[in-house]
A and B are shown apart, each in its own frame.
Chain A
Amino acid sequence: MKDKLIGVLAGLCAGGLAVQAAAEEIKVGLLLPYSGVYAALGNDIEAGFRLGLQTFAPETQASFAIVTEDTEVKPPVGLAKARKLVLDDQVDVIAGVVSSGVLGAIRDFVHGSGVPLIVANAGNDEATGEQCSPYITRMSFSNRQVNRPMGDWLHAQGVQKVFTIAPDYAAGRQMIGGFVEGFAAAGGDVVGQEYTPFQKTQDFGPYLAKAKASGADAVYAFYAGGEAISFVKQYDSFGLKAAMPLYGAGFLTSPLYVEAEGPAAEGVIAALHYVPTIDNPANAAFVAAYKAETGRMPSEYAVQGYDAARALVVASATGAADREGLARALAQVSFDGPRGTTAIDPATNNIVQPIYVYETVAGDGGLTQKVVAELPAEADPANGCTLSTTN
Chain B
Amino acid sequence: MDFGFWLFQTLNALQLSMLLFLLSVGLTVIFGLMHFVNLAHGALYAVGAYVAATVAGTVGYWAGLITAPLVVAELGLLLYWLLIRRMRQSGPMAQVLVTFGLIFVLLDLTRIVWGDIALGIEVPQALAGRIEIGGVTYPVYRLFIIALGAAIFAALALVLARTQIGAMIRAGVDNDKMAACLGINVERLFLAVFCVGCGLAGLAGAVAAPILSVTPDMGLQILIPTLIVVVIGGLGSLWGAMAGSLIFGFVQTFGAVLLPGLASVLIYALLAAVLILRPAGMFPARG
The answer to whether B215 touches A225 (Cβ under 8 A) is yes
For A234, list chain B residues within 8 Å (CB). 211
Whether A40 touches B115, Cβ cut-off 8 Å, given contacts A207-B256, A237-B123, A237-B211, is yes
A199 at the interface (CB under 8 A from B): yes
Contacting residues, chain B, for A260 (C-beta < 8 A):
117-120, 213-214
Q: Is the CB of A263 within 8 A of B122?
A: yes
- Bound: A186/B101 CA distance, A: 53
Residues of B within 8 A of A227 (CB): 213
CB <8 Å contact, B221 and A195: no
What range describes how many residues of A lie at the interface?
35 or more
Select A197's contact among B16, B115, B263, beta carbons within 8 Å. Answer: B263
B126-145 contacts to A (CB < 8 Å): 130, 137, 139, 141-142
Verify B257–A39 contact, CB threshold 8 A: no
* Interface presence of A230 (CB below 8 A): yes
Measured between beta carbons, the chain A residues less than 8 angstroms from B253 are 203, 205-206
The one of A195, A205, A226, A261 in contact with B218, judged by C-beta atoms closer than 8 angstroms, is: A226
With A226-B215, A239-B130, A257-B117 given, is the CB distance from A213 to B15 under 8 Å? Answer: no
Whether B118 pairs with A203 at a CB distance below 8 angstroms is no
Asked if A203 meets B120 with Cβ closer than 8 Å, knowing A40-B115, A237-B141, A260-B213, the reply is no
A40 vs B263: C-alpha distance when bound (angstroms): 29
B9 at the interface (CB under 8 A from A): yes
B8 to chain A: closest residue by CB: A209
Q: Which residues of A contact B139 (CB under 8 A)?
A: 237-239
Q: How far is A237 from B141 in the complex, measured between Cα atoms in Å?
A: 9
Q: With a CB–CB cut-off of 8 A, which chain A residues contact B213?
A: 225-230, 233, 257, 260
Mark out the residues of chain A between 226 and 265 whose CB falls within 8 Å of any chain B CB in the assembled complex: 226-230, 233-234, 237-239, 256-257, 259-263
* Chain B interface residue number, banded: 35 or more
CB-contacts of B1-20 with A (<8 A): 1, 5, 8-9, 12, 15-16
- Residues A206 and B1 in contact in the complex (CB < 8 Å), given A37-B215, A197-B264, A237-B139: no
A380 at the interface (CB under 8 A from B): no
Contacts of B120 in A (CB 8 A): 229, 233, 257, 259-262
A43 at the interface (CB under 8 A from B): yes
**Chain A residues near B5 (CB-CB < 8 A):** 209, 213
Q: How far is the CA of A53 from the CA of B122 in the complex (A)?
A: 39
Nearest first, the 5 closest Cβ-Cβ pairs linking A and B are A260-B120, A229-B213, A205-B12, A40-B116, A197-B264
Pairs A–B under 8 Å by Cβ, sample size 23: A35-B111, A202-B208, A205-B8, A205-B9, A205-B12, A206-B12, A206-B257, A207-B256, A213-B5, A226-B218, A229-B118, A230-B211, A230-B212, A237-B123, A237-B130, A237-B142, A237-B211, A239-B139, A260-B117, A260-B118, A260-B119, A260-B213, A260-B214
Q: Residues of A at under 8 Å CB distance from B?
A: 35-37, 39-40, 43, 168, 194-197, 199-200, 202-203, 205-207, 209-210, 213, 225-230, 233-234, 237-239, 256-257, 259-263
